[in-house]
């Protein structure tokens, strides 16, 4: 039962009777930071919506940015909107920024960093800063950090250069040769915004150094080299010159902050190239590490590397959470970290000491030429992983005999020896794959109960290395060469016949939508989840265009070599799923889960499937689970809200039991983390929904209890 008593105001307006439920005594709850607060809790004390009344939730408004220029297809909408005093600040899937009235969904202002151009690129939200007087919205688009006046959406011209800072600068590399595009909003500490970055996953990636900028001036305040330079700690974990030519080790997933102790915790991605490391022999600090930095000056306090010499793209994918652990009768201020591998790590916040022992164990050795796998990897001894690790024959799908048969032979032909089986040219099975285990939406932590909620994916993927450095010995036309190039580098995402898939657009009839120069620009710079292909030779550029635009069928490609990728290997099945004959995961259900871990007892409270494919659900059996992107939130009303799943539903679970209490269909995929706030007596839950072919921009939906609802 709700603790709230509603005052019923009856207003008679020209014969119309409006009943407005409002509760003046209720305090407002904001959501002022990405994932609720600097500790990344995704928790709200709002409790008007609770276990008893959640099934009465209704759609109360929707905000349609409608900012996709004609002909633009939809892209994933991953924003977690922030809410301050009933005002919502959010990015759109086209990466414009909006202020929206939280009561009505009406636009207050909008800002377009692309001046009407296509825009886009993955963006999970914005950062708010105030000194009590001035209010700013900071956000990134392409390689720029912008500062806007939160009251009117106008650029603050005294910030950086006319309101923006170029993030390609100050990295110690040629700014024209790199792309740095943050995807997750930066975090505020005092008058600084601390910012990570998304960089390319390829051989030419920029280093993922973490930077702090002054929020007032845009001046660079400090930089932490995630790939250490001569004289810096960790430099010896690489070949001597690797800091000049390797990249990655970037924080793309966001950070969390211990404000009191002035420590920022940044989980980092893998070093590049992701799947082959012959030119970066060594442990490769701070790749795949959690780094704890002094937020004042960026100096390293402690670090923990979760994967040595990563060959799997096991980026740390989510902001850590600040949690309290009870162990041996003592309460410990800890930081929790989820991973794509399915491990949950817990460290003392100040010292970095693991709360439970982490053992270094021997792992399989690479068979690929030139590679030197690191002999051991760290395995937390407790808690147990929240995802299955390493696919075995017993775990192959049992949805139907046909499904099982369709995967068995392929399974037997590939390498599958556990979590750290390195890639080779035959195919290696990865479980969990690059998409988790845990996801970028991160975990929700309930400070009242000490329970951490983690959503996870259980979908195997395949790694296959091919020698890079394509060569044409005068045998191919540009069209043929382009097709070869396409099959090697593009088909895993865009499909063998350009048809695309759920994450990547179709490239059919490109000519009717995009000029060649635009296409080439996209291919070279990358966009969203698509990496940039900056290393293409002129012949390769011409060939890929010939293939995509169906021309160049006569002219023969002159002899050509690409010296930059010549010696490497490339993962030509990167990010491709291991699926049965009908396209379902090759593994037994569940295919996605929601997990509740109790930090007080150190044990899981429950695990339930997240998402459902009803056609594959066994009669009377549990839901199947589905692939999911985006995170959960937890409320004082006793609920965990999460959308995220491929079945395009939005759900609420009982936070203490995992029982599903409410679900609703969304107009598209809710591949984002919801936010909740209460304002003027009413609690709202909002979620960004990915577009559809009919409505390519997607929208933000708001749910609340009916106005005249009494419980």
Which residues bind to ligand HEC, rule: CB under 6 A?
73, 75, 120, 489-490, 492-494, 503-505, 507, 513, 519, 522-523, 527-530, 533, 544, 575
What tokens does 27 get? 């305090």
Residue owning tokens 């700013």: 136
End-to-end Cα spacing for the chain? 6
Q: How far is the CB of 531 from ligand HEC (least distance, A)?
A: 6
- Long-range contacts of residues 215-218, Cβ cutoff 8 Å, at least 24 apart: 215/129, 215/136, 215/138, 215/147, 215/188, 215/191, 216/158, 216/159, 216/191, 217/158, 217/159, 217/160, 218/145, 218/147, 218/159, 218/160, 218/161, 218/164, 218/165
Decide: 315 and 270 in contact? Cβ < 8 Å: yes
Q: Which two tokens stand for residue 600?
A: 């007080």
Q: Indicate the residue among 153 and 670 with the shorter CB distance to ligand HEC.
A: 670
Provide, rounded to whole angstroms, the least separation between the CB of residue 271 and ligand HEC.
18
Q: Are 418 and 376 in contact (CB under 8 A)?
A: no
Please state, as a whole number, how many other Cβ atoms lie within 10 Å of the Cβ of residue 28: 17
Q: How far is the CB of 520 from ligand HEC (least distance, A)?
A: 8
Q: How many CB atoms lie within 10 A of CB 127?
A: 25
CB of 581 to ligand HEC, least distance (A): 23
Distance of closest approach, residue 90 Cβ to ligand HEC, in angstroms = 17
Residue 137, both tokens:
């919205």
Which is nearer to ligand HEC, 123 or 407 (by Cβ)? 123
Q: How far is CA 111 from CA 33, 90, 147, in A?
A: 19, 11, 11
- Distance, in Å, from the CA atom of 297 to the CA atom of 224, rounded to the nearest integer, reads 9
- Min dist. Cβ of residue 313 to ligand HEC (A): 10
Q: Please report, for residues 48, 190, 367, 370, 506, the alpha-carbon distance to residue 297 in angstroms, rounded to integers and kept in the order given.
A: 42, 12, 43, 39, 45
- 69 or 558, CB closer to ligand HEC? 69
Instruction: For the CB of residue 526, give the shortest distance to ligand HEC in the complex, in Å.
Output: 8
Question: Chain-centre distance of CA 132, in angstroms?
Answer: 31
Find the shortest distance in angstroms from Cβ 209 to ligand HEC.
24
Q: At its nearest, how many Å lie between ligand HEC and the CB of residue 70?
A: 13
Q: Write down the least CB distance from residue 105 to ligand HEC, Å.
A: 25
Closest contact distance (angstroms) between CB of 533 and ligand HEC is 5
The dihedral through the CA atoms of 155, 157, 162, 166 has a sign that is negative
CB neighbour class for 15 (10 Å; exposed up to 12, middle 13-18, buried from 19): exposed
- Between 154 and 515, CB nearer to ligand HEC: 515
Q: How far, in Å, CA of 635 to CA of 2, rounded?
A: 14
Tell me whether residue 76 or residue 349 sits nearer to ligand HEC (CB atom).
76
> Whose CB is nearest to ligand HEC?
528
Q: Report, in angstroms and rounded to the nearest whole number, the Rg of the chain calculated over CA atoms.
A: 25
How near is the Cβ of 528 to ligand HEC at its closest, in Å? 2
Nearer to ligand HEC, 243 or 485 (CB): 485
Give residues with Cβ within 8 angstroms of 22, minimum separation 6: 6, 7, 9, 680, 681, 682
Encoding tokens for residue 610? 């997240």
Least separation in angstroms between residue 252's CB and ligand HEC is 14
Q: Of 286, 294, 306, 304, which is closest to residue 207 (Cα–Cα)?
A: 286
Q: How far is the CB of 275 from ligand HEC (least distance, A)?
A: 12
Kindly state the smallest distance separating residue 91's Cβ from ligand HEC, in Å. 13
The residue (of 242 and 530) whose beta carbon lies closer to ligand HEC is 530
CA–CA distance, 291 with 112 (Å, rounded to integer): 34
- Cα separation, 323 vs 639, in Å, equals 19
- Name which of 31, 436, 34 is nearest 255 in CA terms: 34
Burial 337-375 (b: 16+ CB within 10 A, else e): bbbbbbbbbbbebbebebbeebeeeebbebebeebebbe
d(CA 645, CA 457): 10
């Amino acid at each position: 039962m709700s603790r709230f008593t509603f005052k019923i105001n009856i207003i008679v307006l020209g014969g119309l009777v409006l009943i407005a439920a409002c509760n003046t005594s209720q305090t407002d709850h904001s959501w002022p930071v990405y994932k609720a607060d600097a500790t990344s809790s995704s928790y709200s004390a709002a409790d008007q919506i609770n276990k008893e009344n959640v099934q009465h939730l209704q759609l109360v408004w929707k905000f349609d940015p409608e900012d996709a220029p004609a002909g633009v297809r939809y892209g994933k909408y991953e924003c977690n909107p922030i809410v301050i005093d009933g005002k919502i600040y959010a990015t759109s899937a086209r990466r414009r920024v909006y202020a929206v009235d939280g009561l009505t969904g009406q636009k207050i202002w909008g800002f377009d960093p692309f001046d009407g151009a296509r825009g886009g690129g993955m963006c999970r939200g914005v950062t708010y800063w105030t000194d009590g007087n001035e209010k700013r919205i900071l956000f990134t688009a392409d390689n720029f950090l912008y500062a806007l006046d939160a009251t009117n959406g106008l650029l603050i011209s005294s910030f950086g250069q006319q309101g923006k800072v170029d993030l390609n600068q100050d990295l110690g590399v040629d700014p024209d040769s790199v792309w740095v595009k943050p995807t997750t909003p930066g975090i505020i500490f005092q008058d600084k915004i601390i910012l990570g970055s998304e960089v390319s996953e390829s051989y030419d990636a920029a280093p993922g150094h973490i930077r702090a900028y002054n929020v007032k001036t845009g001046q660079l305040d400090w930089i932490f080299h995630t790939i250490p330079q001569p004289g810096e700690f960790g430099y010896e974990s690489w070949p001597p010159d690797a800091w000049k030519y390797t990249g990655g080790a970037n924080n793309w997933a966001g950070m969390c902050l211990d404000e009191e102790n002035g420590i920022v915790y940044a989980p980092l991605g893998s070093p590049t190239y992701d799947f082959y490391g012959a030119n970066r022999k060594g442990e490769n600090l701070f790749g795949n590490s959690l780094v704890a930095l002094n937020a004042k000056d960026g100096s390293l306090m402690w670090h923990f590397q979760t994967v040595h010499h990563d060959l799997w793209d096991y980026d740390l994918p989510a902001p850590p959470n600040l949690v309290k652990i009870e162990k041996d009768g003592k309460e410990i201020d800890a930081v929790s970290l989820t991973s794509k591998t399915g491990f949950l790590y817990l460290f003392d916040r100040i010292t970095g000491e693991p709360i439970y022992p982490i053992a270094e164990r021997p792992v399989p050795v690479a068979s690929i030429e030139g590679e030197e796998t690191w002999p051991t990897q760290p395995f937390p001894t407790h808690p147990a992983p929240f995802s299955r690790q390493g696919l075995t024959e017993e775990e192959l799908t049992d949805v139907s005999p046909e499904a099982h048969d369709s995967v068995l032979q392929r399974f037997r032909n590939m390498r599958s020896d556990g979590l750290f089986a390195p890639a080779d040219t035959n195919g290696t099975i990865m479980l969990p794959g690059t998409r988790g285990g845990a996801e970028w939406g991160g975990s929700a932590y309930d400070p009242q109960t000490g329970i951490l909620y983690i959503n996870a994916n259980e979908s195997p993927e395949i790694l296959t290395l091919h020698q890079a450095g394509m060569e044409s010995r005068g045998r191919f036309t540009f069209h043929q060469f382009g097709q070869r190039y396409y099959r090697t580098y593009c088909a895993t995402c865009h499909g063998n016949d350009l048809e695309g898939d759920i994450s990547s657009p179709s490239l059919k009839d490109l000519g009717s939508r995009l000029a060649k120069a635009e296409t080439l620009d996209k291919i070279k710079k990358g966009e969203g989840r698509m990496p940039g292909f900056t290393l293409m030779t002129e012949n390769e550029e011409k060939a890929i265009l010939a293939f995509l635009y169906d021309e160049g069928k006569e002219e023969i490609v002159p002899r050509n070599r690409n010296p930059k990728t010549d010696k490497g290997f490339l993962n030509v099945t990167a990010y491709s799923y291991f699926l049965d004959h009908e396209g379902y995961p090759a593994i037994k259900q569940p295919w996605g889960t929601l997990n509740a871990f109790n930090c007080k007892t150190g044990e899981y409270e429950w695990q339930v499937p997240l998402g459902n494919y009803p056609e594959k659900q066994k009669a009377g059996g549990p839901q199947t689970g589905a692939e999911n992107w985006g995170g959960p939130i937890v409320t004082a009303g006793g609920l965990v809200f999460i959308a995220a799943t491929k079945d395009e539903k939005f759900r609420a679970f009982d936070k203490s039991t995992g029982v599903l209490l409410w679900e609703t269909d969304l107009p598209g995929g809710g591949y984002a983390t919801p936010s909740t706030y209460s304002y003027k007596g009413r609690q709202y839950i909002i979620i960004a929904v990915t577009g559809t072919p009919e409505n390519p921009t997607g929208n933000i939906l708001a749910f609340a209890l009916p106005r005249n609802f009494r419980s």
